[in-house]
Amino acid sequence: MNYLSLAIQIIIMLLFLVFAVFFLVQFYNIVFRGYAPFISSKKKVIKKIIEKLDLKEDGVIYELGCGNAGFLRAAREKFPRAKLIGFEYCFLPYLIAQIQNSLSKSKIIIEKKDIFKVDLSGADVLYCYLNLLTMKKLEDKIKQEGKQGLKIISYQFPLPGIEAKEVLEDGKDKIYFYSL
Ligand SMILES: C[S@@+](CC[C@H](N)C(=O)[O-])C[C@H]1O[C@@H](n2cnc3c(N)ncnc32)[C@H](O)[C@@H]1O
Protein backbone atom coordinates (compact mmCIF):
# COMPACT_ATOMS: atom_id res chain seq x y z
CA MET A 1 0.00 0.00 0.00
CA ASN A 2 1.51 3.35 -0.96
CA TYR A 3 1.22 6.57 1.02
CA LEU A 4 -1.42 8.06 -1.32
CA SER A 5 -3.93 5.23 -0.88
CA LEU A 6 -3.27 5.23 2.88
CA ALA A 7 -3.95 8.99 2.99
CA ILE A 8 -7.17 8.53 0.97
CA GLN A 9 -8.33 5.78 3.33
CA ILE A 10 -7.63 7.96 6.38
CA ILE A 11 -9.55 10.91 4.82
CA ILE A 12 -12.52 8.64 4.01
CA MET A 13 -12.51 7.27 7.56
CA LEU A 14 -12.34 10.78 9.03
CA LEU A 15 -15.24 11.94 6.83
CA PHE A 16 -17.23 8.88 7.85
CA LEU A 17 -16.49 9.67 11.51
CA VAL A 18 -17.62 13.30 11.13
CA PHE A 19 -20.91 12.21 9.51
CA ALA A 20 -21.45 9.47 12.09
CA VAL A 21 -20.97 11.95 14.95
CA PHE A 22 -23.26 14.44 13.18
CA PHE A 23 -26.05 11.87 12.78
CA LEU A 24 -25.66 10.64 16.37
CA VAL A 25 -25.81 14.19 17.79
CA GLN A 26 -28.79 15.05 15.57
CA PHE A 27 -30.57 11.81 16.50
CA TYR A 28 -30.07 12.42 20.23
CA ASN A 29 -31.15 16.07 20.04
CA ILE A 30 -34.17 15.42 17.83
CA VAL A 31 -35.44 12.35 19.69
CA PHE A 32 -34.57 13.17 23.31
CA ARG A 33 -34.43 16.98 23.36
CA GLY A 34 -37.09 17.79 20.75
CA TYR A 35 -34.73 19.90 18.58
CA ALA A 36 -35.53 20.63 14.95
CA PRO A 37 -33.50 18.66 12.36
CA PHE A 38 -31.23 20.24 9.76
CA ILE A 39 -33.43 20.86 6.70
CA SER A 40 -32.98 24.00 4.63
CA SER A 41 -35.78 26.44 3.78
CA LYS A 42 -36.87 26.29 0.15
CA LYS A 43 -35.28 28.96 -2.06
CA LYS A 44 -38.70 30.14 -3.31
CA VAL A 45 -39.88 30.58 0.30
CA ILE A 46 -36.79 32.61 1.21
CA LYS A 47 -37.29 34.75 -1.90
CA LYS A 48 -40.92 35.45 -1.01
CA ILE A 49 -40.03 36.46 2.57
CA ILE A 50 -37.12 38.70 1.56
CA GLU A 51 -39.31 40.44 -1.03
CA LYS A 52 -41.87 41.28 1.68
CA LEU A 53 -39.39 42.11 4.40
CA ASP A 54 -38.88 45.71 5.42
CA LEU A 55 -35.85 46.68 7.52
CA LYS A 56 -34.12 49.92 8.43
CA GLU A 57 -30.72 50.34 6.77
CA ASP A 58 -28.68 49.29 9.82
CA GLY A 59 -31.28 46.81 11.12
CA VAL A 60 -30.42 43.50 12.78
CA ILE A 61 -31.67 40.08 11.64
CA TYR A 62 -31.16 36.90 13.68
CA GLU A 63 -31.70 33.51 12.06
CA LEU A 64 -32.43 31.12 14.93
CA GLY A 65 -31.14 27.64 14.10
CA CYS A 66 -29.53 28.97 10.92
CA GLY A 67 -28.40 25.66 9.36
CA ASN A 68 -26.31 26.73 6.37
CA ALA A 69 -27.64 30.31 6.76
CA GLY A 70 -29.26 30.45 3.32
CA PHE A 71 -31.83 32.96 4.54
CA LEU A 72 -29.17 35.39 5.76
CA ARG A 73 -27.12 35.13 2.57
CA ALA A 74 -30.23 35.97 0.56
CA ALA A 75 -31.03 38.84 2.96
CA ARG A 76 -27.52 40.24 2.45
CA GLU A 77 -28.33 41.08 -1.18
CA LYS A 78 -31.33 43.23 -0.24
CA PHE A 79 -29.89 44.68 2.98
CA PRO A 80 -26.17 45.29 2.38
CA ARG A 81 -25.69 47.34 5.57
CA ALA A 82 -27.79 45.26 7.96
CA LYS A 83 -26.23 43.19 10.75
CA LEU A 84 -26.98 39.54 10.03
CA ILE A 85 -26.36 36.91 12.67
CA GLY A 86 -27.08 33.19 12.50
CA PHE A 87 -27.13 30.90 15.55
CA GLU A 88 -26.59 27.18 15.14
CA TYR A 89 -25.77 24.59 17.81
CA CYS A 90 -24.80 21.71 15.55
CA PHE A 91 -21.21 21.53 14.30
CA LEU A 92 -21.73 20.30 10.71
CA PRO A 93 -24.31 22.89 9.55
CA TYR A 94 -22.30 25.52 11.45
CA LEU A 95 -19.17 24.52 9.49
CA ILE A 96 -21.06 24.48 6.17
CA ALA A 97 -22.47 27.95 6.95
CA GLN A 98 -18.99 29.28 7.74
CA ILE A 99 -17.53 27.83 4.53
CA GLN A 100 -20.38 29.15 2.34
CA ASN A 101 -20.12 32.47 4.14
CA SER A 102 -16.43 32.86 3.35
CA LEU A 103 -16.88 31.70 -0.26
CA SER A 104 -19.66 34.22 -0.86
CA LYS A 105 -17.87 36.94 1.17
CA SER A 106 -21.28 37.90 2.52
CA LYS A 107 -20.05 39.14 5.93
CA ILE A 108 -22.61 37.25 7.96
CA ILE A 109 -21.82 36.42 11.56
CA ILE A 110 -22.40 32.78 12.46
CA GLU A 111 -22.28 31.82 16.12
CA LYS A 112 -22.18 28.25 17.34
CA LYS A 113 -24.72 28.63 20.09
CA ASP A 114 -27.98 27.21 21.40
CA ILE A 115 -30.75 29.67 20.56
CA PHE A 116 -32.03 29.50 24.14
CA LYS A 117 -28.73 31.06 25.27
CA VAL A 118 -29.03 33.98 22.85
CA ASP A 119 -30.20 37.38 24.09
CA LEU A 120 -32.88 38.33 21.59
CA SER A 121 -33.14 41.98 22.64
CA GLY A 122 -30.77 43.21 19.91
CA ALA A 123 -32.81 41.86 17.00
CA ASP A 124 -35.23 43.75 14.73
CA VAL A 125 -36.20 40.59 12.88
CA LEU A 126 -36.10 36.90 13.83
CA TYR A 127 -36.28 34.22 11.16
CA CYS A 128 -37.13 30.69 12.30
CA TYR A 129 -37.60 27.35 10.59
CA LEU A 130 -37.65 25.06 13.63
CA ASN A 131 -40.47 22.85 14.91
CA LEU A 132 -43.66 23.22 16.99
CA LEU A 133 -42.07 22.31 20.32
CA THR A 134 -39.21 24.77 19.89
CA MET A 135 -41.57 27.57 18.80
CA LYS A 136 -43.69 26.93 21.89
CA LYS A 137 -40.60 27.14 24.13
CA LEU A 138 -39.30 30.16 22.26
CA GLU A 139 -42.50 32.12 22.72
CA ASP A 140 -41.90 33.14 26.38
CA LYS A 141 -38.32 34.11 25.58
CA ILE A 142 -39.48 36.25 22.67
CA LYS A 143 -42.12 37.93 24.87
CA GLN A 144 -39.55 38.63 27.61
CA GLU A 145 -36.59 39.76 25.51
CA GLY A 146 -38.00 40.94 22.19
CA LYS A 147 -38.00 44.70 21.64
CA GLN A 148 -41.16 46.59 20.76
CA GLY A 149 -41.79 46.24 17.04
CA LEU A 150 -39.72 43.03 16.72
CA LYS A 151 -40.78 41.13 13.63
CA ILE A 152 -40.82 37.35 13.78
CA ILE A 153 -41.10 35.27 10.65
CA SER A 154 -41.57 31.55 10.99
CA TYR A 155 -41.66 29.04 8.18
CA GLN A 156 -44.15 26.20 8.75
CA PHE A 157 -44.43 26.40 12.56
CA PRO A 158 -46.53 29.04 14.34
CA LEU A 159 -45.99 30.67 17.72
CA PRO A 160 -49.00 29.10 19.44
CA GLY A 161 -49.84 32.00 21.79
CA ILE A 162 -49.27 35.02 19.53
CA GLU A 163 -51.67 35.94 16.78
CA ALA A 164 -50.01 36.15 13.39
CA LYS A 165 -50.38 39.46 11.54
CA GLU A 166 -50.33 37.58 8.28
CA VAL A 167 -50.02 34.00 7.06
CA LEU A 168 -48.88 33.31 3.52
CA GLU A 169 -49.92 29.93 2.14
CA ASP A 170 -48.69 28.25 -1.00
CA GLY A 171 -49.62 24.57 -1.19
CA LYS A 172 -48.04 22.93 1.86
CA ASP A 173 -45.86 25.96 2.62
CA LYS A 174 -46.97 28.33 5.35
CA ILE A 175 -45.14 31.48 6.39
CA TYR A 176 -46.22 33.18 9.61
CA PHE A 177 -45.53 36.89 10.16
CA TYR A 178 -45.67 38.35 13.69
CA SER A 179 -44.93 41.71 15.26
CA LEU A 180 -44.54 42.55 18.97
C1 LIG B 1 -35.16 23.10 9.88
S2 LIG B 1 -33.45 23.60 10.04
C3 LIG B 1 -33.52 25.24 9.34
C4 LIG B 1 -32.19 25.74 8.87
C5 LIG B 1 -32.22 27.16 8.31
N6 LIG B 1 -32.75 28.09 9.28
C7 LIG B 1 -33.05 27.23 7.06
O8 LIG B 1 -34.18 27.73 7.16
O9 LIG B 1 -32.60 26.80 6.00
C10 LIG B 1 -33.33 23.91 11.81
C11 LIG B 1 -31.92 24.19 12.26
O12 LIG B 1 -31.96 24.63 13.61
C13 LIG B 1 -30.92 24.03 14.34
N14 LIG B 1 -31.36 24.02 15.74
C15 LIG B 1 -32.37 23.30 16.27
N16 LIG B 1 -32.51 23.56 17.57
C17 LIG B 1 -31.54 24.48 17.89
C18 LIG B 1 -31.16 25.13 19.08
N19 LIG B 1 -31.82 24.92 20.24
N20 LIG B 1 -30.12 26.00 19.05
C21 LIG B 1 -29.45 26.23 17.87
N22 LIG B 1 -29.78 25.63 16.71
C23 LIG B 1 -30.80 24.77 16.70
C24 LIG B 1 -30.77 22.65 13.71
O25 LIG B 1 -29.48 22.10 13.93
C26 LIG B 1 -31.01 22.98 12.24
O27 LIG B 1 -29.81 23.29 11.57
Domain boundaries, given as residue ranges, for the chain: 1-33, 43-179
Beta-strand relationship, 173-179 and 166-170: antiparallel
**Distance (Å, rounded) from C-alpha 164 to C-alpha 50?**
18
**93, 22 contact by CB (below 8 A):** no
What is the pLDDT at residue 165?
Answer: 96
* Residue closest by Cα to atom 16 of ligand 1: 35
Q: Whose CA is nearest to atom 26 of ligand 1?
A: 38
CA of 131 to the centre of ligand 1 (A): 9
Within 6 Å (CB) of ligand 1, which residues are found? 35-36, 38-41, 63, 65-67, 70-71, 87-90, 93, 114-116, 129-130, 134
Long-range contacts of 31-35 (CB under 8 A, 24+ apart): 34/131, 34/133, 34/134, 35/89, 35/131, 35/134
> What SS3 state is found at 125?
strand
Q: Tell me the whole-structure pTM to 2 decimals.
A: 0.91
pLDDT value of position 1: 64
Question: Which pLDDT score, from 0 to 100, does residue 22 have?
Answer: 84
Instruction: State the closest ligand 1 atom to the C-alpha of 116, by its place in the atom list counted from 1.
Output: 19
Protein residue with its CA nearest to atom 14 in ligand 1: 65
- Contact (CB, 8 A) for 5 and 11: no
> What is the chain's pLDDT, residue by residue, as a tens digit (180 residues)?
688 889 999 999 999 998 898 888 888 888 888 899 999 999 999 999 999 999 998 999 999 999 999 999 999 999 999 999 999 999 889 999 999 998 887 789 999 999 999 999 999 999 999 999 999 999 999 999 999 999 999 999 999 999 999 999 999 999 999 999
Q: What residue's CA is closest to ligand 1, atom 6? A: 66
First to last CA, the chain: 64
Q: Determine the Cα–Cα distance for residues 80 and 167; give it in Å rounded to an integer.
A: 27
**The predicted structure's pLDDT at residue 149:** 95
Q: Name the residue with the closest Cα to ligand 1, atom 17.
A: 65
Q: Does domain 43-179 have CATH number 3.40.50.150?
A: yes
